[in-house]
Amino acid sequence: MAKVTIDGHSIEVPDGTTILQAARMLVDNNPEVDAKVAPPTMCYYSKLKTSGGYCRTCVVKVTKGSEKDPRPMPKPVASCRTTVMDGMEVVNITSPEVLEARKGVVEFLLINHPLDCPICDQAGECHLQDLGYEHGLAKTRYDFSRRTFNQIDIGPYIKLHMTRCIMCFRCIKVADQITNNRYQGMLFRGDASEISTYIEKAVDNDFSGNVIDVCPVGALTDRTFRFKSRVWFTKPMDAHRNCTKCSGKAAVWLKGNDVLRVTARKDQWGEAIDWICNECRFEKKDAKDWVIEKPSHIDRHSVISQNHYENLAQLKLDISKQQKQIAGKK
Amino acid sequence: MGKKLLIHNDNVPGIATLEVYRQNGGYASVEKALKTMTPADVVEEVKKSGLRGRGGAGFPTGMKWSFLAKPEGVERYLVCNADESEPGTFKDRYLMEKIPHALIEGMITSSYALGAKTSYIYIRGEYFYVARIVEKAIDEAYAAGLLGKNILGTNFSHDCYVQVGAGAYICGEETALLESLEGKRGNPRIKPPFPAIAGLYGCPTVVNNVETIAAVCPIVMMGGDEYAKIGIGRSTGTKLISASGHINKPGVYEIELGLPVEEFIYSEEYCGGIINGRKLKAVVAGGSSVPILPAELILKNDKGEARLMSYESLSEGGFATGTMLGSGGFIVYDETTSIVKNLYTFARFYHHESCGQCSPCREGTGWMEKILHRIVEGQGKPSDVDLLWDIQRKIEGNTICPLGDAAAWPVASAIRHFRHEFEEYINHPERIKDVKHYYSVHQLAGA
């Protein structure tokens, strides 16, 4: 076990845990800890091996290396790929230097992003929107033309819109690890690099649709849902069905009684809880196909939570927690 | 005359062949190491010598070797980094082209010290003709029993292979090099684990520069203590410097570390002074990545002491008034040079070579290039200099590999020491065409 202190909060975690996982454990287990102590992530995905380290939004500063070697680390480190040592002290939101570095990263991620949120299906559940809102500048300092790409259809269900991509490599990891045959990769280099399928339109895998769930932006979207509705006009419901390929546990997004789309259930860090198969995701668009359990949990600060009635007890808990935080700040 | 250990016999006719090389005392270190020393002895000598990596970072080689994990039953590898792509650096090419056996001799001796049965020489793609020279030398060594099974009748067996890269600057970064060597896309790995624990094919690996490996031979021959007497302070031994730019005698020079910079630039033995008797304006002392220094700071440090060609002296004063020895790519600029245009060239290079993995470098290098392009074209805005400064600050230290730093440092130092030149470009775009280089280009076009 290793004891690590993040922004003044201490936690004991097993050896080999990363700083980011430790911060998430800290937030999960202590309701009084500000959720922002866990650094934001764009490329790290706890369910994908070797993910993380690329986007640099999760950088933190290590002010004390360990009990044995208390020297601080000279550069900010990617918390998703740095393992904790016993006695390590980390600063995240309490360090202006870290916030400055993160602000820089957000600016870099946004300079070539088209900012076409008004016509993007991801708007409302986009991690880059959240990140930009939290850490970005109100105005861009980039006054050159942005890079653009043609849209590519990856099979009948998935649309790749590279212009919006922030190169998090999550979809490549899904292709490598969830699906049997690797069919995605990176072409070219530098700011001309792009995600590409080697053989366009020839993707035939039961779990390929999960690339849509892992995409933090609107680069990979569901062709069966594109332009049907803004996400905040639909109601997410936890539902299940008997599926021979996957667990069958999914979230269906309803508008009236119509199932507009099906996604994996997401946890509080925006990560899929169970991978679902393409049949569940793309072909079961009838409410009769599903047994609806309850409204999915949506964070109260999300735009999707508008008019979304879920567990009332949870809502009360959220409100009281927020009030406590406000009282604490005063 | 300084002491020469690496390229002392580069002018002997036929030195590239094994026969002539052996007549001139070649492969003596292999014989000495394999027959009279244990591998630990060799490592100990290298440690004592204080030899530091010649590729740019200057990490002590002996220490690097001692970090190598030695689990039972797992292969260990030695990889020679001959992907010399730093603009301004061409010393490894010279060494491999003229005396390829010096590298192979070092490879055998170093592999013996590390217990590596296999080694690879990863040569930059553009150096295909050098790869042929090295390959020919390896064939000769195999034929003479210096490579292969039971070298010189001892128990030590070793195989050495040449791999040619595809011409990416990033593959000079050691983990990207290993990825490329494995046949994958040359993207730097996220560290830890370091190559000494899990390198090539997941096995413990040491990656060393060509010059570092070649320097092992004289260390074995003369002993570590004797080698440590050459040089100054913690910068021991000799270093190959690739001198280029506005000097009378550009080329590769072997110097004893601790030579005054002034002597290096102006003495007849080395660079021979500035071309056409012009004044010195600035120097990039260690390849394009290191900070550029104006004449007054490269000849003397901020305390007024003469600056020496050594790891410590060049970095005296930190990045505010100092630079780095880097890989020894010594680029000299005379008074007619436009620092802004030079910086634009560097920025274009780093933009082109960024691998695209991590966001600060992928997006930031392109952004800096676009701004600099705007400035050299006379379209710059007054806020651009501060913007450039801010961008480089946000790239530096936030990337996976040192390419981000390498892209940021030249920009930072050019703005730090030559801010007035940027302002001149921005405030008086009409004067830009008066710059001599531009003028001559326009004249040529007219003719």
CB contact under 8 A, A109 and B394: no
Q: What is the rounded average pLDDT of the residues B371-399?
A: 93
Is pLDDT above 90 for B447? Answer: no
Which domain, by its residues, includes A46?
Answer: 2-98
Provide the total of helices (H) and of strands (E) in chain A, helices listed first.
7, 14
Same-domain check for residues B297 and B363? no
Residue B168 contacts A where some CB pair is shorter than 8 Å: yes
The three-class DSSP label of residue B441 is helix
Quote the CA–CA distance of A205 and A207 in Å, as a whole number.
Answer: 6
Is there a domain that residue B100 lies in? yes
- Name chain B contacts of A192, Cβ cutoff 8 Å: 356
pLDDT tens digits, one per residue of B11-63? 899 999 999 999 999 999 999 999 999 999 999 999 999 999 998 888 999 99
% residues pLDDT > 90 (chain B): 82
DSSP class of residue B295 equals: H
Local confidence band at B174 (pLDDT 50, 70, 90 cut-offs): very high
DSSP labels, B39-83: HHHHHHHHHHHT-B-SSSS--BHHHHHHT----TT---EEEEEE-
Residue B166 contacts A where some CB pair is shorter than 8 Å: no
Is there a domain that residue A303 lies in? yes
Instruction: Give the end of a domain, one of A34, A65, A98.
Output: A98
CB contact under 8 A, A54 and B359: yes
Nearest CA in chain A to B398: A76
- Number of domains composing chain A: 2
- A219, A166, A172, A218: which is closest to A193 by C-alpha? A166
- Name chain B contacts of A167, Cβ cutoff 8 Å: 356-357, 359, 362
Residue A304 contacts B where some CB pair is shorter than 8 Å: no
Quote the CA–CA distance of B36 and A27 in Å, as a whole number.
Answer: 61
- Name chain A contacts of B358, Cβ cutoff 8 Å: 53-56
Q: Which of B185, B360, B370 sits opposite A108 (nearest CB)?
A: B360
Residue type, B34: L
Which domain, by its residues, includes B51?
Answer: 18-229
Residue A99 contacts B where some CB pair is shorter than 8 Å: no
Q: What pLDDT does B432 receive?
A: 75
Local confidence band at A137 (pLDDT 50, 70, 90 cut-offs): confident
Is there a domain that residue B9 lies in? no
Instruction: Give the end of a domain, one of A56, A79, A98.
Output: A98
- B418, B325, B407: which is closest to B52 by C-alpha? B325
Instruction: Give the end of a domain, one of B306, B334, B362.
Output: B334
A191 φ/ψ sector (left φ>0, alpha ψ -120 to 50, else beta): alpha
Residue A98 contacts B where some CB pair is shorter than 8 Å: no
Same-domain check for residues B177 and B130? yes
Count other C-beta atoms under 10 Å from residue B420's C-beta: 9
CB contact under 8 A, B367 and A144: yes
CB contact under 8 A, B353 and A190: yes
For B301, the token pair is 């440090």
Instruction: Give the end of a domain, one of B207, B229, B251.
Output: B229
CB contact under 8 A, B362 and A167: yes
- B322, B294, B352, B359: which is closest to B85 by C-alpha? B352
pTM: 0.92
- Name chain A contacts of B185, Cβ cutoff 8 Å: 185-186
% residues pLDDT > 70 (chain A): 94
Q: What pLDDT does B435 receive?
A: 52
CB contact under 8 A, A54 and B358: yes
CB contact under 8 A, A167 and B366: no
- Size of the A and B interface in Cβ pairs below 8 Å: 89
Kindly give, in sequence order, each residue whose CB lies less than 8 Å from that of residue B267, ignoring residues fewer than 6 positions away.
none
Same-domain check for residues B223 and B256? no
CB contact under 8 A, A190 and B362: yes
pLDDT tens digits, one per residue of B118-145? 999 999 999 999 999 999 999 999 999 9
Is there a domain that residue B438 lies in? yes
For B125, the token pair is 């793609």
Q: Report the CATH number at residue B251.
A: 3.10.20.600
Local confidence band at A290 (pLDDT 50, 70, 90 cut-offs): very high
Residue A59 contacts B where some CB pair is shorter than 8 Å: yes
Is there a domain that residue A123 lies in? no
Quote the CA–CA distance of A28 and A50 in Å, as a whole number.
Answer: 23
CB contact under 8 A, B190 and A105: no
What ranges in B115-240 are assigned the alpha helix state H? 128-143, 174-181, 210-222, 224-229
What angle is formed at CA B228 by the lines to CA B306 and CA B330, rounded to 5 degrees? Answer: 45
Kindly give, in sequence order, each residue whose CB lies less than 8 Å from that of residue A115, ignoring residues fewer than 6 positions away.
none
Same-domain check for residues B42 and B173? yes
Quote the CA–CA distance of A300 and A315 in Å, as a whole number.
Answer: 8
**Strands A2-6 vs A88-91: parallel, antiparallel or unpaired:** parallel
Q: What is the rounded average pLDDT of the residues A212-220?
A: 94
Residue A128 contacts B where some CB pair is shorter than 8 Å: no
- A196, A158, A182, A171: which is closest to A272 by C-alpha? A171
Same-domain check for residues B300 and B429? no
Same-domain check for residues B118 and B216? yes
Same-domain check for residues B209 and B295? no
Q: Report the CATH number at residue B423.
A: 1.20.1440.230
Q: Which of A191, A194, A195 to mutate to test the interface with B (most CBs of B within 10 A)?
A: A191
DSSP labels, A153-214: EETTTEEE-GGG-----HHHHHHHHTSSS--EEEES-GGG-EEEESSTT----TTTTHHHHH
Is there a domain that residue B396 lies in? yes
Residue A112 contacts B where some CB pair is shorter than 8 Å: yes
What are the beta bridge partners of residue A61?
A91
Residue type, A180: N
- Name chain B contacts of A108, Cβ cutoff 8 Å: 359-360, 362-364, 367, 394
CB contact under 8 A, B359 and A108: yes
Quote the CA–CA distance of B282 and A237 in Å, as a whole number.
Answer: 67
Residue A144 contacts B where some CB pair is shorter than 8 Å: yes
Is there a domain that residue B43 lies in? yes
Q: Lay out the sheet containing A220-222: strands in order across.
A: A152-154, A158-160, A220-222
Quote the CA–CA distance of B155 and B146 in Å, as a whole number.
Answer: 12
Q: What is the mean pLDDT of chain A?
A: 89
Quote the CA–CA distance of B113 and A266 in Å, as a whole number.
Answer: 53
Same-domain check for residues B128 and B171? yes
Is pLDDT above 60 for A119? Answer: yes
Is there a domain that residue A104 lies in? no
Is there a domain that residue A107 lies in? no
Same-domain check for residues B141 and B190? yes
Is pLDDT above 50 for B438? Answer: no
Q: What pLDDT does B443 receive?
A: 47
Q: Which of B185, B353, B387 sits opposite A186 (nearest CB)?
A: B185
Q: Report the CATH number at residue A62.
A: 3.10.20.740
Q: What pLDDT does A299 receive?
A: 78
Residue with the larger pLDDT of the pair A174 and B181: B181
Is there a domain that residue B2 lies in? no
Is there a domain that residue A311 lies in? yes
CB contact under 8 A, A56 and B367: no
Q: Which of A51, A77, A105 to mutate to test the interface with B (most CBs of B within 10 A)?
A: A105
Give phi and psi for B264, each to the nearest 5: -60, -40
Instruction: Give the end of a domain, one of B183, B203, B229.
Output: B229
Angle, in degrees to the nearest 10, between helices B384-395 and B359-376: 160
Same-domain check for residues B63 and B87? yes
* Kind plus residue range of the DSSP H or E element containing B370: helix B359-376
pLDDT tens digits, one per residue of B294-339? 999 999 988 889 999 999 999 988 888 999 999 999 999 998 888 9
Same-domain check for residues B219 and B143? yes
Nearest CA in chain A to B405: A75
Q: What is the rounded average pLDDT of the residues B213-236?
A: 94
CB contact under 8 A, B352 and A188: no
B401 vs chain A: nearest CA distance in angstroms? Answer: 11
Is pLDDT above 60 for B365? Answer: yes
Is pLDDT above 80 for B221? Answer: yes
For B37, the token pair is 């020393």
What Rg do the C-alpha atoms of chain A give, in angstroms? Answer: 20
- A162, A204, A214, A212: which is closest to A179 by C-alpha? A204
pLDDT tens digits, one per residue of B184-213? 889 999 988 899 999 999 999 999 999 999
Q: Which of B355, B387, B395 sits opposite A189 (nearest CB)?
A: B355
CA distances in angstroms from A328 to A7, A26, A28, A325, listed in the order given = 16, 19, 19, 5
Q: Lay out the sheet containing B238-245: strands in order across.
A: B251-256, B238-245, B329-334, B280-284, B292-294
CB contact under 8 A, B359 and A75: no
CB contact under 8 A, A75 and B398: yes
Q: What pLDDT does A77 receive?
A: 93
Is there a domain that residue A119 lies in? no
Is there a domain that residue A234 lies in? yes
Instruction: Give the end of a domain, one of A73, A98, A123.
Output: A98
CB contact under 8 A, B394 and A75: no
| Complex ipTM | 0.89
Residue A176 contacts B where some CB pair is shorter than 8 Å: no
Is pLDDT above 50 for B440? Answer: no
Nearest CA in chain A to B386: A141
CB contact under 8 A, B351 and A190: yes
A87 φ/ψ sector (left φ>0, alpha ψ -120 to 50, else beta): left
- Number of domains composing chain B: 3
pLDDT tens digits, one per residue of A26-78? 999 988 888 889 999 999 999 998 898 999 999 999 999 989 989 999 899 99
Residue with the larger pLDDT of the pair A206 and B251: B251
Q: What pLDDT does B434 receive?
A: 52
Is pLDDT above 70 for B441? Answer: no
Is there a domain that residue A208 lies in? no
Q: What pLDDT does B280 receive?
A: 93
Is there a domain that residue B7 lies in? no
Q: Report the CATH number at residue B85.
A: 3.40.50.11540
Q: What pLDDT does A256 receive?
A: 87
First to last CA, chain B: 48
- Name chain A contacts of B363, Cβ cutoff 8 Å: 108-109, 111-112, 191
Same-domain check for residues B317 and B240? yes
Is there a domain that residue B5 lies in? no
